[in-house]
């Protein structure tokens, strides 16, 4: 029987406004793909990356354009040449992984050659706001082991100081979301290091990373918007010490696994992150997170309601996906 591809858009409300330096989100629109063959079906989800001009309509168009090749038998590796990186390719790639696992009656982690999965520590995001509100957010989740703070430039030290007061025992990482233009990055990192911040993501806009080359920040810097696929890596060495791997940026788990391997060869550390997404979108990222130094897979926790049968979160950990969900 020939494969059959189905794709649609779904909207999920956020639990509270999700605020970063680029603005606030009250919902997320995702593209969901199902690939059927015989008695089996595989599912995948992608969140279009709006700052790159992507949206669900464009993702659906890309999936429709690739559908004849997928239905004719194109494999995951073929997608790397068939489609550009992005949410559409990620959703199709995840659906094909899921389908292959069901056809082979083997979980994806075995197909990759990973050890049996165990729960992974995930960061929990504190949205950008004024110090008092970020302190309030942090106090509500102070028992979590790892918090990720969304920063915005002016006033960031006060924001982090307020979170530290509310959560004195939590580990902290921060995401500047390209907002530190015109800031003294070394001085900011020195001050944040004193407050226990371990890592700072993307201080400057993508494309302006050359300004980081001669810096000696007290905290390691991680490339997020500046790192999508393996093609970006050579420009990041000497500017960043970590990369943030997101499946929607990489265009799927297939490329993400290759990206992690290539980053390690260059001496870069790895964080696995996610866009706002449901458990279906995060499940494939768990396989990448198993090979990472940091995981930021809290997307489903930030939604008003996840998909039924979603991932299990307990304490500060996210548990491996079960077969009924994905993989």
CATH number at residue 243: 3.20.20.120
**Are residue 138 and residue 103 in the same domain, yes or no?**
no
283 φ, ψ (degrees, to nearest 5)? -55, -50
In a domain, 151, yes or no: yes
pTM: 0.95
* Whether residue 102 lies in the annotated active site: no
Active-site hit among 37, 58, 102, 150: 150
**Are residue 87 and residue 162 in the same domain, yes or no?**
no
**Are residue 187 and residue 258 in the same domain, yes or no?**
yes
Q: What's the token pair of residue 144?
A: 């979590």
**Are residue 175 and residue 227 in the same domain, yes or no?**
yes
In a domain, 324, yes or no: no
**Are residue 232 and residue 282 in the same domain, yes or no?**
yes
pLDDT score recorded for residue 22: 63
In a domain, 327, yes or no: no
* Whether residue 249 lies in the annotated active site: no
Q: Is 265 exposed, middle or buried (0-12, 13-18, 19+ CB in 10 A)?
A: exposed
Residues of the chain with pLDDT under 70: 19-24
pLDDT score recorded for residue 20: 66
Q: Regarding beta strands 197-201 and 242-245, do their DSSP bridges make them parallel or antiparallel, or are they unpaired?
A: unpaired
Average pLDDT for the chain: 95
pLDDT score recorded for residue 19: 64
**Are residue 83 and residue 50 in the same domain, yes or no?**
yes
**Are residue 165 and residue 91 in the same domain, yes or no?**
no
- State the Rg of the chain over Cα: 19
Nearest one of 271, 301, 310 to 288, comparing CA atoms: 271
Say how many domains are in the chain.
2
In a domain, 323, yes or no: no
Residues 21 and 245: their CA atoms lie apart, in Å, by 20
pLDDT score recorded for residue 99: 98
Q: Which domain holds residue 10?
A: 4-112
The DSSP symbol for 267 reads T
In a domain, 134, yes or no: yes
What lies within 8 Å, CB to CB, of 144 at 6+ separation is 124, 167, 170, 315, 316
Active-site hit among 102, 148, 246, 249: 246
**Are residue 129 and residue 99 in the same domain, yes or no?**
no
In a domain, 92, yes or no: yes
Instruction: Select from 79, 96, 112 the last residue of a domain.
Output: 112
pLDDT score recorded for residue 50: 84
**Are residue 108 and residue 124 in the same domain, yes or no?**
no
State pLDDT tens for residues 151-197.
Answer: 999 999 999 999 999 999 999 999 999 999 999 999 999 999 999 99
**Are residue 86 and residue 124 in the same domain, yes or no?**
no
pLDDT score recorded for residue 21: 56
pLDDT score recorded for residue 24: 67
In a domain, 262, yes or no: yes
Instruction: Select from 112, 132, 164 the last residue of a domain.
Output: 112
Taking the CA atoms of residue 306, residue 310, residue 283 and residue 278 in that order, the dihedral angle to the nearest 10 degrees is -10
In a domain, 215, yes or no: yes
Instruction: Select from 80, 112, 144 the last residue of a domain.
Output: 112
Question: Which residue matches tokens 């629109």?
Answer: 29
**Are residue 73 and residue 141 in the same domain, yes or no?**
no
**Are residue 74 and residue 8 in the same domain, yes or no?**
yes
CATH number at residue 107: 3.30.390.10
């Amino acid at each position: 029987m020939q494969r059959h591809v189905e794709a649609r858009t779904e909207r999920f409300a956020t639990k509270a406004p999700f605020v970063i330096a680029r603005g606030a989100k009250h919902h997320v629109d995702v593209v969901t793909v199902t690939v059927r063959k015989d008695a089996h079906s595989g599912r995948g989800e992608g969140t279009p990356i709006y700052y790159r001009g992507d949206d669900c309509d464009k993702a659906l168009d890309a999936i429709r354009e690739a559908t004849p090749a997928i239905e004719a038998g194109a494999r995951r590796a073929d997608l790397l040449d068939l489609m550009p990186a992005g949410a559409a390719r990620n959703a199709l790639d995840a659906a094909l992984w899921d389908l292959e696992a069901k056809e082979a009656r083997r979980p994806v982690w075995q197909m990759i050659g990973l050890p049996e999965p165990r729960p992974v520590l995930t960061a929990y995001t504190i949205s950008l706001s004024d110090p008092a509100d970020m302190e309030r957010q942090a106090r509500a989740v102070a028992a979590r082991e790892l918090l990720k703070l969304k920063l915005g430039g002016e006033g960031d030290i006060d924001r982090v100081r307020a979170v530290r007061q509310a959560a004195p025992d939590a580990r902290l990482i921060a995401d500047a979301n390209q907002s530190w233009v015109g800031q003294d990055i070394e001085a900011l990192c020195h001050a944040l290091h004193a407050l226990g911040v371990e890592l700072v993501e993307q201080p400057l806009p993508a494309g302006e990373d050359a300004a980081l080359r001669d810096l000696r920040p007290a905290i390691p810097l991680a490339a997020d918007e500046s790192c999508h696929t393996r093609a970006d890596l050579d420009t990041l060495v000497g500017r960043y010490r970590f990369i943030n791997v997101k499946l929607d940026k990489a265009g799927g788990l297939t490329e993400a696994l290759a990206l992690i391997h290539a980053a390690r060869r260059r001496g870069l550390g790895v964080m696995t992150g996610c866009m706002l997404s449901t458990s279906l979108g995060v499940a494939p990222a768990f396989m990448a997170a198993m090979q990472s130094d940091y995981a930021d897979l809290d997307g489903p926790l930030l939604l008003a309601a996840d998909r039924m049968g979603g991932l299990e979160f307990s304490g500060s950990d996210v548990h491996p996906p079960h077969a009924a969900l994905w993989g």
